[in-house]
Amino acid sequence: MISLQTKLTYADYLEMSDDERYELLNGELVMAPAPLIGHQYVLSKLHIEMGAFVDEHNLGDMYSAPTDVVLSDTDVVQPDLLFVSKEREDILTPENIQGAPDLVVEILSPSTAARDRTLKLDLYARHGVHEYWLVDPDARTIMVLLRGERRFEVAGIYGEGQTLHSPTLEGFSMVLEGKFRRR
């Protein structure tokens, strides 16, 4: 049996409703449901702390979802949080980000965890994301991955009470206390 499924492109993606969150992964349109409260709690804590550091040191720009990151004509993602360095600000456009951010943070949710750990991990490595964080609100951990020659390698796994260090945001460290919702 031959599959004649058509891959969607970025132009098709732009025609979708503004009322929903979508990503385009390998030409397939994937809807992302609204995140859980624990997810949003972690997102706000990380954005505030990382954003303050990036601003204070004039390193570049931080963005949170929904911000379109166009990796290719058939791959458009909306990472939970991302950083683009000043040196690479040419990938910023008024509409979206055209290319791989320097650092991407994905906060695992029941509906997205499998994709974040596999499909997106491979996609980010292939397109040149330098550092990738997988935040697990249930386990209360953050796994920091650095892009090696062909794939990501674990740089560290940090839990509550530990101090996370980011190789990409040189000098940035954050104590993981109070970053995860208690209930």
Is position 4 within any domain? no
Is position 46 within any domain? yes
Going by C-alpha positions, the residue among 83, 145, 86, 106 that lies closest to residue 25 is 106
CA dist 44 and 61 (Å) reads: 16
Q: Give me the chain's average pLDDT, please.
A: 90
Is position 3 within any domain? no
Residue 17: give the domain boundaries.
10-175
CATH number of residue 138's parent domain? 3.90.1570.10
CB atoms within 10 A of CB 103: 26
Report CA Rg, the chain: 16
Is position 181 within any domain? no
- DSSP codes joined into one string, 94-109: SS-EES--SEEEEE--
Residue 49 dihedral angles phi and psi, to the nearest 5°: -70, -45
Taking only the tens place, the pLDDT of each residue in 40-77 is: 999 999 999 999 999 999 999 999 998 999 999 999 99
List per-residue pLDDT tens for the chain, 183 residues long: 444 567 878 777 677 655 556 778 888 887 777 788 888 999 999 999 999 999 999 999 999 998 999 999 999 999 999 999 999 999 999 999 999 999 999 999 988 899 999 999 999 999 999 999 999 999 999 999 999 988 999 999 999 999 999 999 999 999 999 898 876
Is position 62 within any domain? yes
CA dist 55 and 52 (Å) reads: 5
Evaluate the CA torsion angle 181, 33, 133, 92 in order and state its sign: negative
Taking only the tens place, the pLDDT of each residue in 13-24 is: 677 655 556 778
What is the predicted pLDDT for the residue at 75? 94
Cβ-proximal residues to 145 (8 Å cutoff; 6+ apart), any chain: 121, 131, 132, 133, 134, 152, 153, 154, 155
CA dist 134 and 159 (Å) reads: 12
What are the structure tokens assigned to 80, written together?
């939970």
Number of independent structural domains in the chain: 1
DSSP 8-state assignment for residue 68: -
Is position 127 within any domain? yes
